[in-house]
């Protein structure tokens, strides 16, 4: 039986449609994958020129991939849980349809020989890539700009930063250009853009989602320990669905693993209100709204102090800058970094005091065990930590440039955020209403290792309890 022709007003074609709803509608053949992709491409054509979120748009390839999904459905085949869902893929994740530039002009022709494992898994589940998400050179900023593709602008207010480094994918998701954005998080690179754009961003536990294939070249220890791939979307259910597809062991990534199934954790949330610099009142108001929502949903909410937070943030910064100086030496790269990335590396490393002795470097890694032990003891009793993504409202574009003082300020805003990277913990960023400045408010929930399900449960309670964001006009 041929399904009726869908209405152009079908909810699955709306800019704020969830990935879960899109896939369900496509599988039921209420809308076709081709129609879903066409609606997203129309929004890209309208919004992307002034937002700079997507660097490459795959108009023809996406339509062909969507047609393949529709043909498989017509033949009675199972096309997967992400049937017809448009996704964007950050410029540093391999997709054979375009170069994996890392936002750097030195890799403008670097077409990968195969898709990254997580891209293969998403495509096998029915997802359709529609574009590449913009990023700074090698993801090395908390704003999104580079010499190859230019700046990504915040759709809520172009005078505010879109965050970084996965800023292009966050803006794409927020404005309905893609339903899921695929990025990564070394020091807040998923959660900060999610906060800036008013979407949901998940930093999975270390190892749960495969990273790039290791092909014999050395990989900096901070990349192995701090950086993860993860999804952004418009709802908690959407990032949970994306994680279910992306996760699992990959033979090409020795850090990847099969996450254990945890026992039921206490429904207890610890609120962290002090993190680096003082917390902006509108950020604090978002935390209060999230805490009230959790209490209403039956969670026990208490005040806590994040253990050894400054120590964790300092160690993350010094170790990261030490490895960046070694791995991003222009002499080894064969070409300088871009203008803004060069300034950021100079200012941040000057402020961070990288380690110049092997003993100091080794001692810093040894101290991580002590910090992790204190966090583990806390989270045995209070599994979920609620706090700010950034203690400040999103600042102006290029706020992380301008000398050591600007570098220090940008880092101090993110102590709680980088602590999760330092310890390899899962963290979920999500909106908590709209601030008086017209920008999204946001919070993050940090769990113990492999406790993503607890974060999703808490995140859904926040999502239900806070006022929804108004639709964007972009």
For the beta carbon of residue 5, count every other beta carbon within 10 angstroms.
Answer: 10
pLDDT tens column, 407-466: 999 999 999 999 999 999 999 999 999 999 999 999 999 999 999 999 999 999 999 999
Q: Is 71 a catalytic residue?
A: no
3-class SS at 303? strand
Is a pLDDT exceeding 90 seen at residue 177?
Answer: yes
CA distances to 103, 106, 149 from 335, in Å: 13, 6, 17
Look up tokens 């030490």; give the residue.
322
pLDDT tens column, 27-44: 999 999 999 999 999 999
Is a pLDDT exceeding 50 seen at residue 2?
Answer: no
Q: How would residue 5 be classed by pLDDT, with cut points 50, 70 and 90?
A: very low
Q: Which of 54, 379, 92, 391 is nearest to 227 (CA)?
A: 92
CA distances to 150, 179, 231, 286 from 241, in Å: 32, 12, 10, 26
Q: How would residue 4 be classed by pLDDT, with cut points 50, 70 and 90?
A: very low
Record the pTM: 0.96
Q: How far apart, in whole angstroms, are the C-alpha atoms of residue 364 and residue 449?
A: 21
Nearest-10 crossing angle of helices 19-27, 33-51: 150
pLDDT for 178 = 98
Candidate CATH numbers 3.90.1300.10, 3.40.920.10, 3.30.390.10, 3.10.20.30; the one for domain 14-465: 3.90.1300.10
Catalytic pick among 165, 178, 293, 340 = 165
Over residues 297-312, mean pLDDT: 98
The answer to whether 279 and 390 are in contact (CB under 8 A) is no
pLDDT for 350 = 86
Considering only residues 128 and 357, tell me which one the structure prediction assigns the higher pLDDT. Answer: 128
Helix (H) or strand (E) holding 301: strand 300-303
Q: How far apart, in whole angstroms, are the C-alpha atoms of residue 207 and residue 276?
A: 28
Kind of pairing between the strands at 86-90 and 128-133: parallel
For the beta carbon of residue 399, count every other beta carbon within 10 angstroms.
Answer: 17
Q: How would residue 8 be classed by pLDDT, with cut points 50, 70 and 90?
A: low
Catalytic pick among 18, 32, 88, 90 = 90
Strand partners, 185: 228
Of the given ranges (95-109, 135-149, 249-263, 347-361), which has the lowest mean pLDDT? 347-361
User: What ranges in 52-150 are assigned the alpha helix state H?
Assistant: 59-74, 117-124
Q: How would residue 1 be classed by pLDDT, with cut points 50, 70 and 90?
A: very low
Is a pLDDT exceeding 90 seen at residue 474?
Answer: no
pLDDT tens column, 217-232: 899 999 999 999 999 9
Q: Where are the domains of the chain?
A: 14-465
Q: How far apart, in whole angstroms, are the C-alpha atoms of residue 114 and residue 26?
A: 27
Handedness of CA 451, 465, 200, 400 (dihedral sign): negative
Q: Is 172 a catalytic residue?
A: no
Is a pLDDT exceeding 90 seen at residue 276?
Answer: no
Q: How far apart, in whole angstroms, are the C-alpha atoms of residue 255 and residue 277?
A: 33
Question: Over the Cα atoms of the chain, what is R_g?
Answer: 21
The answer to whether 92 and 46 are in contact (CB under 8 A) is no
Q: How far apart, in whole angstroms, are the C-alpha atoms of residue 177 and residue 100?
A: 20
Is a pLDDT exceeding 70 seen at residue 301?
Answer: yes
Handedness of CA 365, 366, 369, 374 (dihedral sign): negative
Q: Which of 85, 362, 424, 34 is nearest to 239 (CA)?
A: 85
pLDDT for 277 = 72
Is a pLDDT exceeding 60 seen at residue 281?
Answer: yes
Q: Is 59 a catalytic residue?
A: no
- Average pLDDT over the chain, rounded to whole? 95
Is a pLDDT exceeding 50 seen at residue 103?
Answer: yes
Catalytic pick among 98, 189, 275, 293 = 189
Is a pLDDT exceeding 90 seen at residue 330?
Answer: no
CB contact set of 145 (below 8 Å; sequence gap of 6+):
136, 151, 152, 340, 397, 398
Is a pLDDT exceeding 50 seen at residue 267?
Answer: yes
The separation between the first and the last C-alpha atoms of the chain, rounded to the nearest angstrom, is 39
Considering only residues 328 and 238, tell me which one the structure prediction assigns the higher pLDDT. Answer: 238
pLDDT for 446 = 98
């Amino acid at each position: 039986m041929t399904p009726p022709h869908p209405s152009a007003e079908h909810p699955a074609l709306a800019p704020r449609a969830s990935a879960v709803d899109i896939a369900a509608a496509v599988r039921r053949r209420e809308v076709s994958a081709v129609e879903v992709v066409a609606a997203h491409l129309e929004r890209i054509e309208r919004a992307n020129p002034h937002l700079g979120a997507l660097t490459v748009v795959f108009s023809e390839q996406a339509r062909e991939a969507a047609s393949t999904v529709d043909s498989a459905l017509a033949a009675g085949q199972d096309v997967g849980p992400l049937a017809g869902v448009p996704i964007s893929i950050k410029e540093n994740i391999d997709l054979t349809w375009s170069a994996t530039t890392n936002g750097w002009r030195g890799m403008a022709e670097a077409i990968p020989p195969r898709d990254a494992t997580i891209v293969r898994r998403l495509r096998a589940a029915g997802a359709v890539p529609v574009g590449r998400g913009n990023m700074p050179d090698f993801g090395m900023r908390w704003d999104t700009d580079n010499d190859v593709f230019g700046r990504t602008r915040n759709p809520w207010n172009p005078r505010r930063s879109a965050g970084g480094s996965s800023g292009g994918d966050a803006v794409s998701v927020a404005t309905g250009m893609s339903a899921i954005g695929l990025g990564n998080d070394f020091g807040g690179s998923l959660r900060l853009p999610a906060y800036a754009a008013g979407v949901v961003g998940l930093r999975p536990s270390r190892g749960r989602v495969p990273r790039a294939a290791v092909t014999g070249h050395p990989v900096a220890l901070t990349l192995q320990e701090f950086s993860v791939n993860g999804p952004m979307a418009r709802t908690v259910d959407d990032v949970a669905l994306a994680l279910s597809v992306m996760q699992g062991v990959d033979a090409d990534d020795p850090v990847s693993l099969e996450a254990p199934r945890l026992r039921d954790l206490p429904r207890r949330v610890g609120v962290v209100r002090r993190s680096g610099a003082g917390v902006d009142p509108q950020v604090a108001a978002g935390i209060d709204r999230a805490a009230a929502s959790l209490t209403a949903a039956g969670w026990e909410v208490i005040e806590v102090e994040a253990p050894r937070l400054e120590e964790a943030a300092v160690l993350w910064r010094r170790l990261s800058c030490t490895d960046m100086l070694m791995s991003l030496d222009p002499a080894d790269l064969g070409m300088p970094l871009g203008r803004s990335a060069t300034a950021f590396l100079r200012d941040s490393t000057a402020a961070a005091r990288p380690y110049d002795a092997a003993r100091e470097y080794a001692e810093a890694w040894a101290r991580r065990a002590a910090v992790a032990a204190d966090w583990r003891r806390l989270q045995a009793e209070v599994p979920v930590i609620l706090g700010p993504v950034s203690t400040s409202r999103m600042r102006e574009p290029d706020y992380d440039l301008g000398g050591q003082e600007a570098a220090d300020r940008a880092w101090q805003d993110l102590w709680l955020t980088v602590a999760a990277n330092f310890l390899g913990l899962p963290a979920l960023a999500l909106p908590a209403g709209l601030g008086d400045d017209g920008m999204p408010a946001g919070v993050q929930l940090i769990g113990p290792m492999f406790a993503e399900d607890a974060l999703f449960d808490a995140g859904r309670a926040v999502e239900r309890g806070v006022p929804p964001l108004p639709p964007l006009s972009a």
